[in-house]
């Protein structure tokens, strides 16, 4: 990696230093371009992902049949599938205990949909975030065990020793992905790629993917008996939604899950997601952005500030009328959630700034902060600072918090260690996200210890003002075909960011749209101009400077996308930053 700022931009209009691609990666990209005849910009992305020339075509067209792991490569999968099918064959009473987020709701919906197709109903139970907290609890498990033969815990349960032991009279199967402890609960099966005795090769799977693998194995066993199981490919919209919303790394089979799931979603066959897309006013083909920012937050809204099971019920229903009513309610709750979040975000950011944003961890804690939004606010702090972030809501001397991490820093393991050391009442999660409970008088030492552990992993080594770029483009080189080819390197998301390019020495004309957005066009005089949009640019120095550009010229940085309107498709730059040329 070079120390020299890209395009010599040491401080952009937003105060960031621009960093270009590593020279060794650029050399690999050049070799890729020569060997494959693919566009240089696309080869730059492939080189960043470590794709060799002979792997390029397979990477650009990820096939689920090639990437899907053998379900039995996960420990306890055989026992889980056998107990699941035993309940199906014996017409046993099945309960599904799910987490209240998108991954939990999608996992539950996968099982409910599959069982319904096989003519078997199941009970859905999702705990209330405030009254019951995350994961199985003793009273709920006792009640479910009294009325059911099998309880399947999805997206939770790996650390729930006491609640699972309390489920007397029922068998329990756990399908999860959160970090496991040294011992596992006494369940029939604990299927989890993040168990300590797993090799970590499937650690990137979310819970819905683990559930999907169970259903793959169940279908395989049914097929061996001459029984046709439900169509699993039609369930991939749920797997894709969970993968993106749970910020699972878009690597390996996850890329294929999301690619294929987006195709399924585009068919609009699932009543709940169709209704939700309509209330979210999704009028274009679904993308990872649609999953992460339009659908996911609405599914989550019930678990955050409303009725915990609304999202899972929406995803599982096959009744269009029920779907429409649930989608409308979730959309209303999402609006309320945004208002609550805005207030907490402002207070948390002010507190974190006062504490300092240059350490390995940023954190904030406040009385009365709604536990349903602390996770979102933690994500916002993480995005603003490029550091792991923790946000804690306090009530009655106890703090309940959520944490979000940056790529390359295993936050869940660090939180679990701080809990094991006694500074937290409890804590756990996975690499990118975690939850914790802490006594109010232990917050300072707990956060100090967490910061120490995260610093050892390299957290805080990259400054919050750094903006990484994948290369330089000219307006002449950009057209819809190029953007479509770049998209083939996707889907983009966690651990696979969308490429960001710079345009050097551009003439700019800009106008304000609404209160804070900026619409502009730019060019270097050698060809047609490119349109751009900069959301929220007028809330800082970027918008006013470009709005009054006059004859000044600028370097621009952002992500390319296609904008379809009025039957025409044009290239648009999602502008993120600029610097005087």
Query: What's the pTM?
Result: 0.90
Average pLDDT over residues 56-81: 97
Phi and psi dihedrals of 300, rounded to 5?
-70, -25
What is the domain count for the chain?
3
Collapsing DSSP to helix, strand or coil, 201 comes out as coil
Residues 221 and 328 occupy one common structural domain: yes
Mean of per-residue pLDDT scores for the chain:
95
pLDDT at residue 575 is higher than 90: yes
Average pLDDT over residues 565-570: 81
Average pLDDT over residues 87-91: 97
pLDDT at 464: 64
Q: Is 455 exposed, middle or buried (0-12, 13-18, 19+ CB in 10 A)?
A: middle
Which of these, 17, 317, 75, 112, lies nearest to 199 by C-alpha position?
75
Phi and psi dihedrals of 576, rounded to 5?
-115, -25
Residues 488 and 559 occupy one common structural domain: yes
Residues 291 and 209 occupy one common structural domain: yes
Last residue of a domain, one of 387, 421, 456: 456
Q: What is the CATH number of the domain that holds 15?
A: 2.40.50.140
- By the 8 A CB rule, do 578 and 545 touch? yes
pLDDT at residue 386 is higher than 90: no
Average pLDDT over residues 99-118: 97
pLDDT at residue 565 is higher than 80: no
Residues 218 and 103 occupy one common structural domain: yes
Least confident of 83-92, 311-320, 486-495: 486-495
Residues 262 and 297 occupy one common structural domain: yes
- By the 8 A CB rule, do 386 and 375 touch? no
At 262-304, the pLDDT tens digits run: 999 999 999 999 999 999 999 888 999 999 999 999 999 998 9
pLDDT at 461: 82
Last residue of a domain, one of 317, 332, 347: 332
Q: What is the number of residues in the chain?
A: 581
The label of the residue with tokens 């369940």 reads 187
Which strand (E) or helix (H) includes residue 48?
A: helix 40-48
Last residue of a domain, one of 332, 365, 387: 332
Would you say residue 326 lies in a domain? yes
Residues 447 and 571 occupy one common structural domain: no
Phi and psi dihedrals of 543, rounded to 5?
-65, -55
Which strand (E) or helix (H) includes residue 200?
A: none
How distant, in Å, are the alpha carbons of 112, 131, 156, 161, 185 from that of 140? 19, 12, 14, 14, 16
pLDDT at 563: 86
pLDDT at residue 3 is higher than 80: no
Residues 299 and 373 occupy one common structural domain: no
The label of the residue with tokens 């749970």 reads 246
Residues 259 and 158 occupy one common structural domain: yes
Phi and psi dihedrals of 535, rounded to 5?
-75, 135
pLDDT at 255: 97
Helices (H) and strands (E) in the chain, counts: 21, 18
pLDDT at 133: 86
Average pLDDT over residues 574-580: 97
Residues 304 and 421 occupy one common structural domain: no
Would you say residue 50 lies in a domain? no
Residues 163 and 270 occupy one common structural domain: yes
Q: What is the CATH number of the domain that holds 308?
A: 3.90.1640.30
In 225-309, alpha helices (H):
236-245, 253-266, 271-279, 288-289, 296-305
> What tokens were used for 531?
């349109």
Residues 170 and 231 occupy one common structural domain: yes
Distance CA 117, CA 103 (A): 21
Distance CA 552, CA 550 (A): 6
How distant, in Å, are the alpha carbons of 57, 115, 167 from that of 147? 52, 18, 10
Distance CA 203, CA 185 (A): 20
Distance CA 286, CA 280 (A): 12
Residue 487 domain boundaries: 6-20+469-580
Would you say residue 304 lies in a domain? yes
Residues 196 and 121 occupy one common structural domain: yes
Would you say residue 33 lies in a domain? no
pLDDT at 1: 44
At 5-50, the pLDDT tens digits run: 999 999 999 989 999 999 999 999 999 999 999 999 999 999 999 9
- By the 8 A CB rule, do 535 and 573 touch? no
Which of these, 202, 210, 256, lies nearest to 233 by C-alpha position?
256
At 157-189, the pLDDT tens digits run: 999 999 999 999 999 999 999 999 999 999 999
pLDDT at residue 117 is higher than 50: yes
Would you say residue 291 lies in a domain? yes
Average pLDDT over residues 369-381: 94
Given its phi and psi angles, is residue 371 left (phi above 0), alpha (psi -120 to 50 degrees) or beta? Answer: alpha
């Amino acid at each position: 990696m070079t120390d020299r700022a890209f395009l010599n931009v040491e401080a952009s209009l937003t105060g960031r230093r621009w960093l270009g691609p590593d020279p060794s990666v650029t050399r690999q990209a050049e070799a890729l371009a020569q060997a494959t005849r693919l566009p240089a910009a696309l080869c730059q992305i492939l080189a960043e992902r470590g794709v060799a020339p002979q792997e390029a075509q397979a990477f650009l067209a990820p096939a689920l049949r090639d990437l899907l792991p053998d379900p039995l490569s996960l420990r306890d999968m055989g026992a889980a599938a056998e107990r699941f099918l035993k309940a199906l064959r014996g017409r046993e009473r099945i309960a599904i205990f799910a987490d209240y987020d998108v991954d939990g709701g999608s996992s539950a919906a996968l099982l409910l949909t599959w069982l319904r197709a096989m003519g078997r109903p199941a009970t859905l139970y999702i705990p209330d975030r405030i009254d019951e907290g995350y994961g199985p609890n003793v009273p709920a498990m006792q009640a479910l065990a009294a009325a059911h033969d099998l309880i399947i815990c999805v997206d939770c349960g790996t650390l729930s020793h006491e609640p699972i032991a309390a489920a007397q009279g029922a068998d329990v199967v756990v399908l999860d992905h959160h970090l496991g402890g040294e011992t596992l609960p006494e369940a029939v099966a604990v299927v989890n790629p993040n168990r300590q005795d797993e090799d970590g090769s499937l650690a990137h799977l979310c819970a819905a993917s683990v559930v999907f693998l169970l259903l793959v194995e169940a279908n395989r066993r049914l097929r061996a008996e001459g029984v046709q199981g439900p169509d699993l490919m039609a369930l991939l919209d749920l797997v894709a939604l969970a993968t993106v919303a749970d910020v699972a790394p878009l690597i390996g089979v996850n890329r294929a899950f999301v690619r294929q799931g987006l195709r399924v979603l585009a068919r609009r066959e699932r009543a709940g997601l169709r209704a939700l897309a309509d209330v979210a006013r999704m009028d274009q083909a679904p993308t990872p952005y649609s999953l992460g920012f339009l659908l996911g937050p609405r599914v989550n809204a019930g678990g955050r500030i409303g009725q915990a099971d609304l999202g899972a019920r929406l995803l599982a229903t096959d009744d269009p009328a029920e779907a429409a009513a649930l989608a409308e309610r979730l959309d209303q709750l999402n609006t309320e959630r945004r208002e609550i979040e805005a207030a907490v975000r402002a207070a948390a950011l002010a507190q974190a700034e006062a504490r300092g944003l240059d350490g390995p961890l940023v954190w904030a804690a406040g009385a009365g902060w709604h536990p349903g939004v602390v996770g979102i606010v933690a994500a916002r702090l993480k995005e603003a600072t490029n550091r792991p972030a923790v946000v804690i809501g306090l009530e009655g001397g106890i703090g309940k918090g959520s944490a979000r991490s940056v790529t390359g820093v295993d936050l869940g393991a660090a939180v679990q260690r701080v809990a094991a050391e006694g500074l937290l009442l409890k804590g756990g999660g996975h690499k990118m996200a975690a939850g914790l409970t802490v006594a109010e008088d232990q917050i300072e030492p707990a956060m100090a210890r967490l910061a120490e552990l995260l610093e050892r992993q390299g957290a805080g080594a990259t400054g919050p003002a750094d903006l990484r770029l994948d290369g330089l483009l000219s307006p002449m080189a950009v057209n819809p075909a190029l953007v479509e080819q770049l998209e083939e390197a996707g889907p983009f998301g966690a651990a696979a960011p969308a490429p960001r390019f710079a345009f050097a020495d551009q003439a700019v004309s800009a106008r304000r749209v609404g209160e804070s957005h900026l619409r502009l066009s730019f060019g270097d005089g050698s060809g047609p101009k490119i349109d751009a949009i900069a959301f929220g640019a007028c809330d800082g120095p970027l918008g006013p400077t470009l709005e009054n550009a006059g004859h000044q010229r600028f370097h621009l940085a952002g992500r390319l996308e296609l904008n379809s309107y009025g039957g025409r498709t044009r290239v648009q730059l999602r502008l993120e930053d600029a610097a005087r040329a």
